[in-house]
Structure 1
Amino acid sequence: MSRYQEIANDIEKDIIEKKYVRQLPEQFDLAKKYHTSRVTIVHALKILQSKKLIKAVKGHGTFITSKSIPDIFLNSGVNEHTGFTRHVNSAFLLTSNVISFNIRRPSAEECKALCLDKNDEVYDIIRQRILNGKPARLEYTVMPIKRIPGITMDILHKSVYSYIQNELGLKIGKDYRIITAEKSDAYDMKYLDCAIDDPVLCIQQKAFLEDGRPFELSESRNRYDRGALTVNGD
Structure 2
Amino acid sequence: MGKSKFILIYNALSEKIHKQEIAAGSLLPTENELGEQFKASRETIRKALAMLSRNGYIQKIQGKGSIVLDVSRQNFPISGLTSFRELANHSKDTWRTNVHQLVLMKPDDHLKMVMNLHDDQMVWKVIRSRSVNGEAVILDKDYLIQGLVPILTADICEHSLYDYIENDLGLKIGFAKKEITVEHAGVEDKRYLTMSRDTHVVVVRSLVYLESAELFQFTESRHRADKFRFVDFARREHQ
Write the distance in 1 (CA, Å) between the matches of 2:230 and 2:132.
Answer: 14
Deviation of 1:165 after TM superposition, in Å, equals 0.7
Deviation of 1:115 after TM superposition, in Å, equals 4.1
Question: TM-score normalized by structure 2?
Answer: 0.58
Deviation of 1:197 after TM superposition, in Å, equals 4.8
Write the distance in 2 (CA, Å) between the matches of 1:128 and 1:83.
Answer: 21
| Residue 151, structure 1, aligned to residue 152, structure 2 | yes
Shift in CA distance, 113/93, structure 1 to aligned 2, threshold 3 Å:
same
**Equivalent residue number for residue 176 of structure 1:** 177
Write the distance in 1 (CA, Å) between the matches of 2:199 and 2:128.
Answer: 20
Give the 5 Å matches for 1:1-234: 83=79, 89-195=90-196, 197-234=198-235
Write the distance in 2 (CA, Å) between the matches of 1:98 and 1:111.
Answer: 24
What CA deviation, in whole Å up to 9, does each residue of 1:107-157 have, x standing for no partner? 344334434321121101111111122101001111111111221111011
Deviation of 1:229 after TM superposition, in Å, equals 2.1
Q: Secondary structure at the match of 2:159?
A: coil
Write the distance in 2 (CA, Å) between the matches of 1:185 and 1:115.
Answer: 25
Write the distance in 1 (CA, Å) between the matches of 2:218 and 2:132.
Answer: 23
Deviation of 1:106 after TM superposition, in Å, equals 1.8
Deviation of 1:211 after TM superposition, in Å, equals 0.4
96-105 or 85-94, larger mean C-alpha shift: 85-94
Shift in CA distance, 141/168, structure 1 to aligned 2, threshold 3 Å:
same
* Uncovered stretches (5+) of structure 2, i.e. residues with no partner: 1-77
How many corresponding residue pairs? Answer: 153
Write the distance in 2 (CA, Å) between the matches of 1:231 and 1:84.
Answer: 9
CA contact (8 A) 1:85 1:230 kept: no
137-146 or 98-107, larger mean C-alpha shift: 98-107
* Uncovered stretches (5+) of structure 1, i.e. residues with no partner: 1-81
Shift in CA distance, 184/196, structure 1 to aligned 2, threshold 3 Å:
farther
CA contact (8 A) 1:84 1:230 kept: no
Over the aligned positions, Cα root-mean-square deviation in angstroms equals 2.1
Give 2:118's aligned amino acid. Answer: D
Write the distance in 2 (CA, Å) between the matches of 1:156 and 1:140.
Answer: 11
Identity of paired residues, percent? 28
